[in-house]
Amino acid sequence: MNAIRTALLGALAAVVLIGTGVAAGGVAAAGSNAPADVGPDANASDDAGPPSDLPEPVPEFVGDLLNEVDGFLSGEVENLGDAVSDLAGNDLDGAGGV
């Protein structure tokens, strides 16, 4: 039993030492050899901020799907799979669908 405990403590110590070494390496990477735009004091580049070309709005059925999921979570919908299949138009024979 003591051998197992000692082995587990050794493994835990190794994980902690490796983790702190990786963290220290990450801090050292932002040293004097780092690019000028790294770190909190760096100037933001011109392309900072949200993208200008946002994706199109989601189709209407996505809102219906989310309503079914909410209903399932609140207990109003008993079988989420059947509810989603009904919205998607999936029949047992494989016909239909989105």
Higher pLDDT, 46 or 73: 73
Enumerate the domain spans of the chain.
1-31, 57-98
Contact 50, 59 (CB under 8 A): no
Cα separation, 67 vs 63, in Å, equals 6
Q: What count of residues does the chain have?
A: 98
Average pLDDT, the chain: 72
Q: What's CA 35's distance to the chain center, in Å?
A: 28
Pick the range with the lowest mean pLDDT from 4-13, 22-31, 69-78.
22-31
**36 φ/ψ angles, rounded to the nearest 5 degrees:** -65, -20
Higher pLDDT, 82 or 45: 82
Mean pLDDT on 55-69: 88
pTM across the whole model: 0.38
Contact 48, 42 (CB under 8 A): no
